[in-house]
């Protein structure tokens, strides 16, 4: 199958090839494209199904805790996201949030934290969220104001978080707050905050163009036990960046999945649509469009799996992950736009696959570092290198 052809690339081992092939077959059998009206219920049921089928084992690290391996396998996560996104955006989201929301615990949690949370994440029994952004601190993470003040055996949280995926349905949130050891990014710590703690409220549910559970969170004198801190005081920013190093590449992988689906849909439409006594595919301008789409898909795939492979070799991937995210998200937007164009009026009709991809892709150019932030990361890294 053409969408599995890249599995022959040398970035992958045989277990990766097997994983992607089996997942593709599972998706074809179990995932339908549309989202139901109740996004929360659909998300919960997708997490349960992904857990029961064993795919969430790849979202955590620790074989003894129900994980597929003792370390996070970036290539496996990227293959999972690419494949899920090709079938169903919400299924990709459900998988991604289990990984992003628990990633800090896998990477830097204590044994007790790992035992308490990770097995339930892997089984699909606990929903995870990652709470970094604030109303006044999005791209500028260091402007964070949400505070955590030490008091006896607890920290007391005050402030807000916004745009939090799984907000309102998550069982726990990995939350970053200012503890003040130093100014800026060096005075931030990471905590695990259970849903339902006194002083923690879902202040607003946020509706977006591609529906996903999303919320603004408010903390008013909310007490979190000291044992819920991940890593050392003041190390929270580092923990967040380590987590994003994995998941930023996986955002690129999800974009790649959306782009592949758009190319697949565009090809089918070009072959089937009759016009001018031939088909849309017979027109040279269509062939040029399809060629551009295919080149973008393959160049994104190469960048995604280079970054994933490099991270799995234990190398720094700050620049490569930023390149993958920038090129794959921006490229997917262009590929999907071209697919909408190939569909003509049907391309903008609600319920068409390309119409939903068009809405689905947009936020990926903004979250986990907007494209401009990725450009800055790449440019600064180039200037640092000799």
Ligand X SMILES: Cc1cc2nc3c(=O)[nH]c(=O)nc-3n(C[C@H](O)[C@H](O)[C@H](O)COP(=O)(O)OP(=O)(O)OC[C@H]3O[C@@H](n4cnc5c(N)ncnc54)[C@H](O)[C@@H]3O)c2cc1C
Whole-number minimum distance, CB 232 to ligand X, in Å?
21
Please answer whether residues 192 and 176 qualify as being in contact, where contact means their C-beta atoms are separated by less than 8 angstroms. no
Choices 30-38, 115-123, 286-294, 360-368 (CB under 6 A): range interacting with ligand X: 360-368
130 touching ligand X, by CB under 6 A:
yes
343 touching ligand X, by CB under 6 A:
no
132 touching ligand X, by CB under 6 A:
yes
Annotated catalytic residue within 52, 136, 368, 372: 368
Whole-number minimum distance, CB 283 to ligand X, in Å?
36
133 touching ligand X, by CB under 6 A:
yes
Whole-number minimum distance, CB 123 to ligand X, in Å?
22
**22 among known catalytic residues:** no
Q: Which is nearer to ligand X, 155 or 163 (CB)?
A: 163
Please answer whether residues 44 and 51 qualify as being in contact, where contact means their C-beta atoms are separated by less than 8 angstroms. no
**Residues with Cβ within 8 Å of residue 201, at least 6 apart in sequence:** 217, 218, 220
366 touching ligand X, by CB under 6 A:
yes
Please answer whether residues 376 and 326 qualify as being in contact, where contact means their C-beta atoms are separated by less than 8 angstroms. no
Binding footprint of ligand X, residue count (CB under 6 A): 19
Choose, by CB under 6 A, the member of 139, 268, 287, 316 that binds ligand X. 139
Binders of ligand X in range 211-230 (CB under 6 A):
214
Distance CA 72, CA 103 (A): 9
In whole angstroms, how far apart are CA 264 and each of 240, 294, 295? 35, 10, 14
Whole-number minimum distance, CB 133 to ligand X, in Å?
3
Given the rule CB under 6 A, which residues bind ligand X? 130-133, 138-139, 163-165, 208, 214, 363, 366-368, 370, 372-373, 376
Annotated catalytic residues are 368
């Amino acid at each position: 199958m053409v969408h599995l052809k890249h599995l022959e690339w040398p970035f992958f081992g045989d277990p990766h090839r097997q994983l992607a092939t089996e997942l593709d077959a599972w998706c074809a059998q179990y995932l339908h494209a549309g989202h139901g009206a109740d996004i929360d219920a659909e998300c919960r049921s997708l997490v349960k199904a992904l857990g029961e089928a064993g795919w969430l084992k790849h979202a955590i690290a620790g074989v003894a805790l129900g994980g597929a391996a003792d370390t996070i396998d970036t290539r496996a996560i990227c293959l999972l996201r690419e494949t899920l996104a090709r079938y169903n955006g919400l299924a990709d989201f459900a998988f991604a949030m289990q990984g992003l929301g628990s990633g800090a615990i896998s990477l830097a949690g204590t044994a007790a934290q790992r035992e308490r949370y990770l097995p339930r994440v892997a089984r699909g029994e606990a929903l995870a969220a990652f709470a970094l952004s604030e109303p006044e601190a999005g791209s500028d993470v260091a402007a964070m104001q949400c505070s955590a003040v030490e008091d006896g055996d607890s920290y007391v949280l005050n402030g807000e978080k916004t745009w939090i995926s799984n907000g309102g349905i998550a069982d726990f949130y990995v939350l970053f707050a200012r503890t003040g050891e130093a100014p800026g990014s060096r005075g931030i710590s990471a905590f695990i905050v259970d849903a339902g703690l006194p002083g923690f409220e879902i202040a607003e549910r946020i509706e977006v163009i591609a529906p996903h559970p999303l919320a603004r969170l408010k903390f008013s004198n909310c007490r979190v036990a000291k044992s819920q801190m991940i890593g050392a005081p003041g190390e929270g920013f580092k923990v967040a960046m380590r987590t994003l190093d994995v998941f930023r590449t996986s955002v690129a992988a999800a974009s790649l999945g959306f782009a592949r689906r758009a190319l697949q849909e565009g090809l089918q439409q070009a072959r089937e649509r009759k016009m001018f006594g031939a088909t849309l595919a017979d027109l040279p301008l269509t062939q040029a469009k399809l060629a551009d789409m295919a080149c973008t898909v393959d160049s994104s795939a190469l960048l995604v799996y280079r970054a994933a492979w490099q991270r799995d070799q234990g190398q720094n991937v700050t620049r490569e992950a930023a390149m993958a995210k920038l090129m794959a998200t921006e490229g997917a937007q262009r590929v999907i736009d071209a697919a909408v164009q190939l569909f003509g009026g049907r391309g903008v009709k609600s319920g068409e696959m390309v119409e939903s991809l068009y809405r689905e892709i947009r936020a990926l150019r903004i979250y986990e570092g907007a494209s401009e932030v990725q450009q800055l990361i790449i440019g600064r890294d180039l200037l640092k290198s000799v």
